[in-house]
Structure 1
Amino acid sequence: MSRGGGGICSLNAAETYRLDSSVVSASGFSQDLKEAPASISVVTKEELQSRPIRDIADAIRDVPGVDVTMTKLGIYTFNIRGYASTYVLVLIDGKRTNTVRGFQSNGFGEADNAYLPPISMIERIEVIKGPASTLYGGDAVGGVINIITKKNPSQFTGSISLETQAQQHYNRYGHMRGASGYMAFPLTKDLSLSLRGSLKNREKTELKWPTLTNPSNPNSIYASHSPGAFNIGNIGGRLNWGLDSQNNIYLDAEHYTQKTDTNNTSGALVSSHKKFYRNGIVLNHDGSYGFGTTNTYLQANLTKEKGSSSKNYRTNVTTQGARVESQVYVAESKAVIPFELPSFGSTTLSMGVQYLYENFKTFADNAGVLKGKNQDQNTILPYMEAEYFITDNLILTGGLRYTQSNLFSGEYIPRGYLVYNITDWVTLKAGIAKGYKTPEAKHLSNSEFSAGAYGNPNLKPESSLNYEIGMIFDIFNYGNANITAFQTNFKDELSSDTYADGATLPNGIVCSNNGIDCSYRINRGKNQVRGLEVGLNSATYRGFSTTANYTYTMKKYQDGVKNALGGERVENIPKHIAMLKLNYKQGRFGSFLKTTARLDAIAISKGGGRRAIPGMDKYKDFWVVDLGMSYKMTKNSSISVVVNNLLDKNFFLPYEYKSGRNGIAYANSYQDYTERRNFWINYKMDF
């Protein structure tokens, strides 16, 4: 049923127009992007290799509907259609990488975004925007990112990459360096092995407020939540065995290490040092038989935080961090069965069952009744989805998942989707889907689960109803365009209320946290997101092509909930995001010039608790220009150079205001601490 469409175009003057369009994430099997029952974007390997990529958010920053900002860890985070990365399931070859939900707290959850394979082994990244809970479960309530890696080849192949990111203003922003490698080779006719590894480190920023508000507390001079240093490393391998033409097995194992630092966290004069260690293993079987295909796998992700510490410069006390352990075990089996309906079209049926075990354990001295206790959840999730090809031009998809855990009663999660090829060059897509996500186990305890953070046994699962309608246009030999409108009605979104040190929480416990605020988990009622995504990719003419996209997002509180300013708009989400990119490729040389804008976002204190910044209602509008060039020096070697922030705009602009806590306080006038002009240089050799 594949007819081509969607994706990134490639057209020379005498070529026929063609789109790179095969995806697997929307339905669990390979199909044309234009016919996939989801709003899905693809980031190609060529795009990934042309610019600096430090983490998952960096890799998808040019996708319509995605908003990317820097965190206090020096790692980027993202939201998709107004919902944070914690609502998005990240997969590598269809296998989850997320830790136990809630494993990391106090803004350290973005550390998960750093778990990325070496760029040289990534074939493409598929991004589903909007809920995919029917196929992928509750963690996919906001979308799915599926990182597709290269398959083990029949002959030796490999790649080595060396990179550096040098700051022009090195006295303020930290340099970054990295190296990665990938190789794959056959051991026998049916047995092959691939090995991979990467290292990356970044120095901390030295952004400082104009005055030192308290000379006895030297950390107070650092800009609150400005990025600290990080070191990330991973090593892994995959042993692949093709038993015969119908059966293939692989065993994949990987080890990650990550060390991150923060400056002046929460404006509370606290610096933190975190160390994470992760081991993952997957045993996978793929079958291809007369009736269809099957996939069965067992997966274990074991993550530890140990050797962490934090220092409170207000009390001059250094606290050793908790030893925390996370375990995720997954077992899943799925079958994809196509069959014909005589005179009534054809159907592809996908059905399967998933078992998920999540365990969280902490050993902190101040972790209340959670100390040394397992917080676990067992979930079983059978599902079924049918994609009905009514005619060559009309496809109807319906799916249903049932989720049942030991902590909550069962819930049905349905979805429906329609794809109609109006003409050969116009396709209509429309869908409705439910999203559903249960709270983290540790958040259901009526106690302190992390320093100053308290659970709530009355929390409810989050749920949403999501609508989208869009059109894809293949503009003859000139390019392609797409437009999608979406709406999400969200209920019982999980959040936190903040209470001052010494105040009594709703559970009757008095906050005692060395002068720092405490947080209490709550359901914040309803909110609604409405938005529009527009994308355009031109064909190539004499080496030139263009890519452009625009996203409008309006997220509002409902049920009388107000933002920090007393209005309805949700904070920290730009109303407008736009990107325009001019590409050039001729022979061995390639280049791009790109500008990105993020406009009209409600400001909020980075200290948490949804506190307003007196006198600063909105962040300043953000726009930046980047210039990139690449040259293929030989058949197997290439060099790439990118000048980030070409115009050297300064996005560190301290705003002074009165604070009851420290007297005079500061906030950054921009939403994050985007670096000034810097130079990324990458050398890559294939063999």
Structure 2
Amino acid sequence: MTMHDLSRGLALAVGSIATLHAAVAHAGGEATDFSTIVVTATATERNLADAPASMTVITREELQQRSILDLSDALRGTPGVTLSGVGMTRRGIRIRGMDSEYTLVLVNGRRINAASDAIAHADFDLGWVPVEAIERIEVVRGPMSSLYGSEALGGVVNIITRQATDEWKGSLSFNGGVVDGRLGGDTYQAGVYAGGPLIAGKLGVSFYGENRRKDAAADALDERLTEQEGRRADSGNLVLSWTPVEGQRIDVSHLEGNEKRWRNALQAGAVPYVYETVDRIDRSQSSLSYRGQWQWGESALRAYRSTLDRSNERSRGTATGPQRLTEDAVDGHASLWFGERHRFTLGGEWRRERLEDVTVNPAGHDQAVGRSFFLQDEMELAPRWSLVVGNRFDHHQQFGWHQSPRAYTVYRLNDRFALKGGVGSGFKAPSLKQLSPGYSAVGGGGLFTIYGNPDLKPETVTTYELGADWNAGEWSLAATAFQNDLEDLIQTRCVADCGIRGREVRNYINVAQARLRGVEVTGKAALAAGFSLDANYTWLQAHDRVSGLPLVERPRHSGATTLAWQHARFRAALRGEYKGTQRQTSGSRQVDLPAYTLWSLDLGYRISDRVSVRAGVENLRNERLSDSSTLYSYREVGRYYSAGINLAF
């Protein structure tokens, strides 16, 4: 696939937008909706329609219509987003084919522990915030290192939580579900939110909490083993908001959560055996933040500490030692207007990451300290033409200074049609374990031992994208072509006794170069008689530029669609999610995994303004991926029936 072919595909997509525009022009329709405000793309408030990035917003209303246990469920069906296995029956979030460790997850703009860098097979960043606390989720596709630094190589997921208002409000939700058959996987979830004023106009408080449980699901091919691990989690958050004067706000918050996960696994070897492994995860985040509105602009400052503790027990064999990850951060920025055409944002961050783990080095602990500053200029070049340029400078204690520039432009031909495009770069520093010369860990069920490498370089990416949006309110169509070029990807490579079980030695090394290019197409339409259609499609080509082989677990074709019907208080929706053929490694070669489609049904009824109920069926056709291949890194649950109720007060 050449760049000429990619350009031709984009031209076809843009032409389709123009054709649809002409076809429906007679129906009239409203111009683009400029009421949706987002903050993630620039760290300032902007209309979604003019945001300098490829963005999707998932609203609280949309979340309430489906069965959702964690962030990965919430992001299903989002353009450019796929779920992939990270080991131990867990899953991660891929954006435009980039591995899950390149997706930065934020809560109200604050980082949470990137556990995957310190703990193997971790997906603990997906369950920090209860569903009941979420106001919306902003998803940015493409690197945002120019604002957020190292981990934002593939994209950013920013969870915006509900805030206290001038009057007391609250809600309760209860959800449950059962999986068809006798293999397990049943779920239960209860959530609560309450918020309001303690002192009118001065002091407010908000609280949310959640209890959820998911039973372990057995493997249909060997019921002694677990296909999806069991989980039990409790979490809560308390926020105090003080407004001493109008336009000035101080927030103090504390988030606490604990989780237990269990599964049965097979220990390979001369005498294989089945054992139960149990992980216990405790996490917390305390923060103090300030935001001020001034005549010249706005300012923000915050300090926070995040901790994550993980301990492990095994019924047989040697358990993994305890691990503790602590992150302290102070960041801030100021935005100010220069005339009517320039809004400058200047900011900085200090961050310290500390890992306590007996495997990291002989001392059993290590830390990294980083500091950075960034600059951004949001320019209005003309009444319908905007340009955002920015750069972030990060200092790593081992690599020195590294910069991440970015430029993005939006040109609006009229109130309905816009052209967008940009170029940017990002980087990701090696983890503490990868850099430590004293790090060693056994992997592959005892097959090999991995050692750290202090000579590693940061991974880097350069991305390009160009797109077109046509939006007439209830009708819209958009297409974006993108290309990501990655350099110095870190992988493990055998350096001694290769293939000899228990003796093989592997090192982390910068070896890989990769290119991921594709086209995203999204659209929605308001049909007759209360029906609406929402669909997206992604074509992706991902390959290793050294070996020429395709990157595994990246379907060439993927997409999602929702056909909904709304009548008065009743809503029904049929959802489809398609994953095309993808490559997977089997021994020393690559094989094709079959394509599959998951269909789901959602039903909802609003009994009153305060009470609503829902029911649904996930995986209507009871697709079992293990029936097609045992090589899928994450297996979808079978047919799943769920129901729930939401009470507002």
The residue number in structure 2 matching 1:352 is: 347
178, 188, 196: which one aligns with 2:199: 188
Seen in structure 2, the aligned counterparts of structure 1 residues 304 and 477 have a Cα distance that, compared at 3 Å, is closer
Whether the aligned pair in 2 keeps the contact of 1:71 and 1:227 (CA below 8 Å) is: no
Q: Are residues 636 and 75 of structure 1, via their aligned partners in 2, closer, same or farther at CA, if it must alter by over 3 Å?
A: farther
CA distance in 2, matches of 1:250, 1:48: 26
CA contact (8 A) 2:346 2:376 kept: yes
CA deviations 1:26-54 (Å, max 9, x no partner) are 11111111211111111111111110112
- Does the aligned pair in 2 maintain the 1:39–1:130 contact within 8 Å? yes
Within the candidate set 169, 186, 189, 1:178 is matched to 189
For residue 267 of structure 1, report the CA deviation from its aligned partner: 6.3
Residue 378 (structure 2) pairs with residue 375 (structure 1): no
C-alpha deviation, 1:680, in angstroms: 1.4
Corresponding residue SS for 1:646: coil
Q: What is the deviation of 1:111?
A: 2.4
**Secondary structure of the residue that 1:571 maps to in structure 2?**
coil
Structure-to-structure mapping, 1:375-414, within 5 angstroms = 375-414=366-405
- Cα deviation for residue 74 of structure 1 reads 5.4
* Separation (CA, whole Å) in 2 of partners of 1:176 and 1:259: 14
**Mapped contact 2:197–2:203 kept (Cα < 8 A):** yes
Q: Does structure 2 retain, via aligned residues, the 8 Å contact 1:477–1:539?
A: no
- Bigger CA drift: 385-394 or 516-525? 516-525
Q: Distance in 1 between matches of 2:397 and 2:132?
A: 41
SS of aligned partner of 2:124 = helix
Q: Distance in 2 between matches of 1:228 and 1:548?
A: 31
Aligned to 2:643: 681
Backbone CA RMSD of aligned residues: 2.4
Alpha-carbon shift at residue 114 of structure 1 (Å): 2.1
1:328 & 1:586 partners in 2: Cα distance? Answer: 49
Counterpart for residue 209 of structure 2: 197
| Candidates 95, 102, 113, aligned match of 2:126 | 113
2:476 corresponds to 1:464: no
AA aligned to 1:528 is R
Superposed displacement of residue 522, structure 1:
2.0
The answer to whether the 8 Å contact 1:309/1:320 transfers is yes
C-alpha displacement at 1:436, in angstroms? 0.8
Tell me the distance in 2 between the aligned counterparts of 1:14 and 1:155: 39
Which of 540, 555, 580 is 1:599 aligned to?
580
- Give, in angstroms, the shift of residue 624 of structure 1: 1.2
What secondary structure, in the 3-state scheme, does the structure 2 residue paired with 1:68 have?
A: strand
User: Contact 2:85 / 2:634 at 8 angstroms: preserved in 1?
Assistant: yes
> Equivalent residue for 1:275?
280
8 A Cα contact 2:52 2:388, kept in partner:
yes
Contact 1:154–1:186 (8 Å) recurs in 2:
yes
Q: Secondary structure at the match of 2:584?
A: coil
Evaluate the alpha carbon distance shift between residue 516 and residue 618 of structure 1 in structure 2; reply closer, same or farther with a 3 A threshold. Answer: farther
8 Å Cα contact 1:99/1:327 also seen in 2 = no
| Stretch moving more, 17-26 or 318-327 | 17-26
1:238 paired with 2:239, answer: yes
Evaluate the alpha carbon distance shift between residue 450 and residue 197 of structure 1 in structure 2; reply closer, same or farther with a 3 A threshold. farther
Corresponding residue to 1:531 among 483, 493, 518: 518
Q: Residue in 2 aligned with 1:491?
A: 487
Partner residue, 1:648: 622
Counterpart contact for 1:547–1:581, Cα < 8 Å: yes
Amino acid of the residue matched to residue 391 of structure 2?
L
What secondary structure, in the 3-state scheme, does the structure 2 residue paired with 1:134 have? helix
The answer as to whether partners of 2:370 and 2:397 remain within 8 angstroms in 1 is yes
Q: Is the 8 A contact 1:58 1:76 kept in 2?
A: no
> Which range is displaced more, 94-103 or 465-474?
94-103
Alignment equivalent of 2:470, drawn from 464, 473, 477: 473
Q: CA deviation at 1:98?
A: 2.7
Aligned to 2:5: none
Alpha-carbon separation, structure 2, partners of 1:303 and 1:671? 26
Aligned partner of 2:313 among 309, 330, 351: 309
Q: Does 1:57 align with 2:72?
A: yes
SS for the counterpart of 1:29 is: coil
TM-aligned CA distance change 1:32 to 1:477, over 3 Å: closer
Task: Tell me the CA shift for residue 648 of structure 1.
Answer: 2.2
Cα distance change, pair 203–143 in 1 and its aligned pair in 2 (3 A): same
1:127 aligned partner, one-letter code? V
Letter of the 2:621 counterpart = L
- Count of matched residue positions in the alignment of Structure 1 and Structure 2: 612
TM-fit CA distance, 1:222: 2.6
Task: Tell me, in whole angstroms, the C-alpha distance in 2 between the residues paired with 1:245 and 1:177.
Answer: 42
| Contact 1:75/1:113, CA 8 A, preserved across alignment | no
Partner of 2:324: 325
- Inter-CA distance 540–371: structure 2 relative to 1 (3 Å threshold): farther
CA distance in 2, matches of 1:75, 1:638: 32
CA contact (8 A) 1:166 1:176 kept: yes
Question: Quick check: 2:598–2:621 contact (8 Å CA) kept in 1?
Answer: yes
Tell me the SS of whatever aligns to 1:327: strand
- Aligned-partner Cα distance in 2 for 1:25–1:678: 34
Deviation of 1:639 after TM superposition, in Å, equals 0.8
- 1:266: Cα distance to partner? 8.2
The one-letter code of the counterpart of 2:567 is Q
Q: Is there any run of 5+ residues in structure 1 with no aligned partner, and where? A: 1-5, 7-12, 211-218, 312-316, 562-566, 606-610, 656-666
- Displacement of 1:494 after TM fit? 1.4
1:280-291 → structure 2 map (5 Å cutoff): 280-291=285-296
The letter for the 1-side match of 2:338 is F
1:580 matched to 2:561? The reply is: yes
Whole-Å Cα distance in 1 between the matches of residues 539 and 32 of structure 2? Answer: 29
- Change over 3 Å in CA distance of 1:263–1:576 after alignment to 2: farther
Distance 1:592 1:97 in 2: 33
C-alpha contact (below 8 Å) 2:89/2:634 kept by paired residues: no
- What is the rounded CA distance, in whole Å, between the counterparts of 2:628 and 2:470 in structure 1? 45
**Further displaced range: 15-24 or 421-430:** 15-24
Given the alignment of the two structures, is residue 24 of structure 1 paired with residue 20 of structure 2, yes or no? no
Amino acid of the structure 1 residue aligned with 2:281: F
- Structure-2 separation of matches of 1:310 and 1:453: 22
Shift of 1:122: 1.5
Please give the alpha-carbon distance, in whole angstroms, between the structure 1 residues aligned to 2:560 and 2:420.
24
Are 2:407 and 1:416 equivalent residues in the alignment?
A: yes
C-alpha distance in 1, partners of 2:212/2:355? 28
Identity of aligned residues (%): 25
Counterpart for residue 660 of structure 1: none
Contact residue 77 and residue 561 of structure 2 kept, 8 A: no
Select 2:225's aligned residue among 210, 222, 225: 222
Is the 1:362–1:371 contact (alpha carbons within 8 Å) kept by the matching residues of 2? no
Q: Retained in 1: the 8 A contact 2:497–2:505?
A: no
- How far is the alpha carbon of 1:520 from its aligned partner? 2.9
Q: What is aligned with 1:658?
A: none
Partners of 1:135 and 1:383 within 8 A in 2: yes
Equivalences for 1:436-585 in 2 at 5 Å? 436-451=427-442, 452-474=449-471, 476=472, 478-497=474-493, 504=497, 515=502, 519-539=506-526, 541-559=528-546, 561=547, 568-585=549-566
- Which stretch has the larger CA shift, 135-144 or 518-527? 518-527
For residue 344 of structure 2, give the secondary structure of its aligned residue in structure 1: strand
| Structure 2 residue aligned with 1:252 | 253
Question: Residue type of the partner of 1:111?
Answer: F
Alpha-carbon distance in 2 for matches of 1:466, 1:436:
11
Give the drift of 1:59. 1.0
- Give the drift of 1:371: 4.3
In the superposition, relative to structure 1, how do residues 420 and 409 fare at CA in structure 2: closer, same or farther (>3 Å)?
Answer: same
- Residue 56 of structure 1: CA displacement? 1.3
Q: Could you tell me whether the CA contact under 8 Å between 2:59 and 2:136 is conserved in 1?
A: yes
SS of equivalent residue, structure 1 residue 112: helix
> CA separation in 2, counterparts of 1:198 and 1:395?
42
